[in-house]
Structure 1
Amino acid sequence: MNRKRISFRLSIYILSTTIVVISAIVLLNYNYTKRMLMQHIEESAINQSELIINRIARQIITAQEITRNVANQSLYYLKHNDLEFFLKNVLEANQILNSIHVDMKPEFSGGKLQLSYSAHKDSSTILCSDTGNKWIFKQYPDIYSYLEKNPNGFWTDPYSCEYTGKGLVISYIFPVKLPGTNHIAGNVSGEIAMEYINQIVSGIKIGEEGASFVINKSGLFLTHPVNEWIMKKNLFELSEKILPKNIDEIQKMIKEEKRGSGFAYPEMFNYRKSWFYFAPMPFINWTIIILIPDKELFNDLWLVFREIVFVSLLGVLLIFTIFIFIFRHTLKPLVQITQDIQDFIFEGRKDSVKNEIITLIESLEEMQARHGQFIQEQNQSKKDRRRFEKDMKSAKEIQLNIIPSGYPAFPDRDEIDLYAVLKPAQIIGGDLYDYFFIDKDHLLFAIGDISGKGIPASLFMAVAHTLIKSNADVLSSKHIVEQLNKKLIVRNTNQHFLTIFMGILDIKNGILDYCNAAHNYPYILRANGSIESLDETHGLPVGIYPNKLYNSSTAVLRTGDTILLYTDGVIDCRDENDNTYGQQRFEENLQNLNNLSCFKMVTKIENSLRLFKGTSEQADDISLMALQYKAGKQ
C-alpha cells in the first residue's frame, strides 16, 4: 500500500471515509425509521386493544346493570309469584345473558328449605325451572359470607356450567337485600358464555398473522386461538424458549394492571420472534394481549433497507472510479516534480518509485544539517521561558504585596473581624480587594474583578488599587467610585473594565454606605442566622464611560453581623464534568457559616470550592472577603 501512487491512496482514504459516512447515515436512518414504525405499531396495538376492551366492557357493564336490576326487583316478583315471568322477560330483552339464577335463603323462599330458581336459554327457547338447592357455586361454597365482603357484587372466574350445559361461562353475582336494610336475603347471578367473549376477541383482525387473547391475573388463558389452551395453560408457566427472561417483571405489571410491550417466541408462530402488547381490562381483572410476528412488522423496512444498501454500494463504486480519474489528472504535476527532484538529488542512482510522498521524504533528508541549529534555538527558547517564569513569579510577589494580607487584619481594633484571600487563575490575575481606615471611625473595604487575566489585567489592577487609596479622601463610596472611573479611563489603553463593590462602614453605629458598580451582590449573614443579599446595583463597570455618575445605598450592620464579598470566580468554578459551582450551592453553604470567625468562614468556602473542583484547573481568579461587625465588644 505504501508503494502505491498518491492518487490511488487518496482515493482509498476518501472512499473509506465515504463508506463510513454512508453506512452511518443508512444505519441512523434505519434505526430512526424502526423507532417510528414501532411507535406507529404500538399506537395501532393500543387502538385495537382499546376496541376489544371497550366491546367487552360494554357487555360486562350491561350484564352488571341487568343483574343488579333483577336483584333489586326479585323480592317483589317472588312475593307476587311472577318471578318466572320476570326472568323470562329479562332474558328475552337481553341477548348478552346466557342465563339468570336467583338463589334465596330459606327464610325468604316462601316456605321452602331453599329456593334456587333459574332461567336459561336453550337454542331459541327460554327455560325456567326451580332448581331447589342444586344451584351451588363450587368456587364459592359459602357464597353469602363472600357477598358480605363484596356488597357491590363480583365476577366469578370462568367455570363449566353443569346445569345449563353451555360450556365455560362467567357470572356476575349481586346480593338481594331487604328493602331499606343491608340484610342479604339471597343473590342473583347473571351468566355470560365465554364463547361470546371469545367471539368478540377473535372478531377483530390483528394484521395478517397476528392474534389476540385474554388472560386473568393469574396468567390463565381465558380465550386463545388454540382452544386446547383455554383454561389449561398459564402464560406465566411457559418455557423460557417462548417468553423473555424478564417474565417476572411482566407478571408484576399485569398483576398491577399496567400496560406494556416486548418480544416473545410463541409456539403458535413456530417460535418465530414476535412483538406483543398487553393492557388491563376494567371491572373484571382481565388482561388483553395482542401478538404480531416480527417478520410481519418489519418486512417492508427490511426490503427498503436492502435496496438502500444496494444503491449505496453502487454509489461507492462510482465514487471510487471518479476519484481515481480526478486525482490522476490533478496530481500529474506533483508526480512530474517528484520525479525531477529525485533525478536531481540522486542523479539517476535510484530507481523511480510509485509513491511520491516517500520520494519527497527521502529527498528532504538532505536537510538534516539544519537540525543542530534547531536544537540551539530550542535551548535558547527554554532559557527565555525560565527567565519569563522567574519574572512572572516576581510579578506575583509584587501583586500580592500590593493587596493587604494577614490575620487579624487590624489587631488593635476589636470592633471588627476581617479576613480576605485572592487566588489567581494564572500566576498573576485581575482580581483585587483592599481595606483600610479612612479615619479612626470609618473603614473602607472594596472588592473588584477586572476583565481579562494575566499581565495586562494585573497591571490594570495595580493602577486601580493605587487610585482607590489616593481618592479615599471623602466618606462617600459613590464619590470615590466616580473618581476611580474618571482616572482609570485616562490610563485604560487596553480597554479593560472593572466591576467593583465599595463600602464605607461607620464603626460607631454599623451604618454601611456602599456603591456597587455591576459586581456580584454581597451577602449579609445576620447574627440571628438569617441571610440577606445586597441586591442593588448603582451603575456600569468603571473604566468604560467617562463622567459616569454612580448612586449609592446604605445598610445597617448589627453586632455579630457579617458581610461576605466575592468575585465571579467563586460561582463560576467548574468541576471535572464542566458543572458550575453556582449561586444556589454557594447560598446553601452560607447557611453553615453562622457563629464562625471570618477566617473560618473564608477557609470553609475555600475547602468547599477545592472539593467541588477536584482535579479540574481553576478557570478564573477567585477572591473572598468576610467582615464581621463586633461593636460593643471591648
Structure 2
Amino acid sequence: MKNPRDYIRTSLSRRLSIIIVLMASIFFLGSLGFLFVESRKAVREEALNGAAQVLDNTVQRVNVLMQRVEIASDNFMWLPLRHLDVADSMFVYSRRILTCNPDLNGCSIAFEPNYFPDKGHYFSAYTLNDNGKFDTTQEGNPSYDYHYMDWYQAPKLLDEPVWIEPFADFNPEDVYAEEIIASYCRPMKDSKGRYVGTFSTDISMEWISKTISEVKPYPNSYCIMIGQSGTFFVHPDTTKLLRESIFTPTLEHPDTALTNLGHAMQRGETGVRKLVFEGKESYVFYKPLGITGWSVAMVCPESDIFGGYMRLYKIVIFIVIVGLILMRLAFSRIIKRELKPLNTLAQQAETIASGQFDKTLPRDNRIDEIGKLTHSFSDMQHSLVNYISELKRTTAVKASIESELKVASDIQMGMIPRVFPPFPERQDIDLYALMTPAKVVGGDLYDYFLQNERLYFCVGDVSGKGIPAAMFMAITRDLFRIIAQQNRSPWEIATMMNNFLVKDNDQSMFVTMFIGMVDLPKGRLEYCNCGHNVPILDGKFLEMGSTNQPLGLWECKAFEGEVIEDIRNRQLLVYTDGLNEAENDRQDRLGDERLLEAMQGTEQLSSEEVIHRLQVVVNNHRAGAEPNDDLTLLCLSIRK
C-alpha cells in the first residue's frame, strides 16, 4: 500500500488541491467555529440565567414554607411563657399549635431540669401530628435525656432561634420507613430573662422535598439540599438521605471540584460550578437557605442544556466535510489538467541536474507562470556555468592565499629565537620563551641576545591582529636588534624606536613593549616599560616607578627607565595580555588574581616549567574556546 505522504508529495495537483481545500477548510471551519462558540456562549448564558432564576424562585418558595413555621412558633410561644407556673397547661399549648397549623409535624415544650419540682427531673410536653390525629405525651426520661440533645442545647447556647438539621424520626437506622424531620427551636425565658426551656416545632422534610422536586427546568435536572455537615436532606435517590453526604464519593476517588463545591455550599455561598456530579458533566447552581445554614443546589446535566445545540452542530459539520471532499476532487482534476506541461519541464530539469548544463531546453511560447518557469530554467543554466567557473577560480585563489599565509607564519616564527636553552654554554642564564598567535600570523613578539656580558631582551604586543600586526611586529623586532646592539640603555632604545615608528604611521598602529638589559656579572637589571603589562617578579607584580606611552603613538623626547640592582636568583616573568585576558565561552577572563595564584610555588621550577605550567592554566581556563588574543611568555632567572 502506498504511503499517504508519498502519494501527496509525488503530485503537484494533489498538493495544490489539498492546500486549497485546507485553506477553505480553515476559513469555513473558522467561521463556523466562531459561530458555534458564540452560539454556545449565548445558549450557556441563557441556560445559566434561567436556571439561576428557577433556583432563586425555588429557594424563595422554601423560605416561605419555613417562615410559616417560624411565624407559627413566634405567634404561639407567648402562651407557655405566660403560664410558666402551670405545668399541665403546656400539653394544651403544644396541642393547640398543631391544631391551628396542621402542616406542622410536632411540637415540644421542654423545660430545664426540675423546673417543675412536682414533675421531677424531666418535663417536656410533646404533641405528634399523625395524619390529623394528635397524640400528646411527656417525652423526657432517663433513656431520652433531651437536655443534652441538639434541638435543646443549640438555642440555649446561642440564645437565639435556630433550625436543627433534619433527623429520622424515632428510628435513625431505618431512614427509608421513618419520616425525616426538621426542627425550629426557640429559647424560652421568664420575666427575669432567665432561660427556662426550649420551644420546638417540627416540620416534615417530605413537604419541602415535594416543593423542590416540582422544579425541573430540564428533563433530567433535579434539586438537592445539604446541611452544614454536607449530609443530604433532599435528594431524588432516597437511599442517600441522612446516610451520605456530598463528600461521600470523594472518600474512594478524590475529587477537588466536588470537594470545593461542598465547601462553598457549607460556607453559604451563591454561585454555579461546572463539574462531574454523580457521574455526569453538569452545571450545579447553589444558594443558601435563609438562616438555617443549609444550602439548596440544582443539578442540570450539560447534555440537557446543550443537547439541541450539539445535534445541530453535528449536522452542520457533516455537511461541511462532505462539501470539502467534493471540492477537493473537483480542484484536483482541474489543477492536474492545467499543470500537465510541467512533466515535460521536470524531465528536462533532471537532465540539467545530471551535469549536462549545455543541454538546450525546449522552446515554450506560453506567457503564463509555466512559460516563465521555463525561461528561468534557461537563465539558471547559464548562471550555473558561470558560477562553477567563478568557483574554480576563487578556490584556486583561496588555496594560494592559504599557502602564502603558511609561508608568512613560518617566516614570522623564524624571526624569533626558538632554540632552548638559548645559551647552553652559560649556566647562569635560565631563559625560556613562547609565542602562540591567535590567527595564522600575529602581532606579538619577543627577542633576546647576548652581547658583552649583557643580556638584552624584550616582549611586545602590536595593536590589532593578523597580517598588518605581523608586519608591524617585524619592523619593531628589527628596530630593537639594530638599536640594542649599539650598547644603548633600555630607555634610550625605547626613545629611538618610538621616534622611528611615529614617522609615516598613517594607520596609527602602536606597540606596547617591555625592554630589559641585565648586566650578568652584577645581576643588575635596567628596564623600560612602554605601556606594557606589568611583569611578575618572585610571584608579585613588579612595582613601577614610572609610566611610559606605547611605542608609535606620538613623539616623545625621552622615555624613563628603572633599575633593580640585583635580580640574581629571582624569577622574572614578562607576558602579553593574551595571558591575563584569556577568555572562555562565557567571556570570563583569567584575570590578575588567577595569574598570581598560578605563579605561587614556582620558585623552584625552571623557566621552561613555568611557561608550560602557565600554558596549562590558560588552556584549562579557555575550556576549548578559540583564543581571543596572541599569547607571548618570557621567563628569566639569573643564577649566581
Name the TM-score, length of structure 2 as normaliser: 0.49
Between structure 1 and structure 2, the one with the greater Rg is 2
Name the TM-score, length of structure 1 as normaliser: 0.49
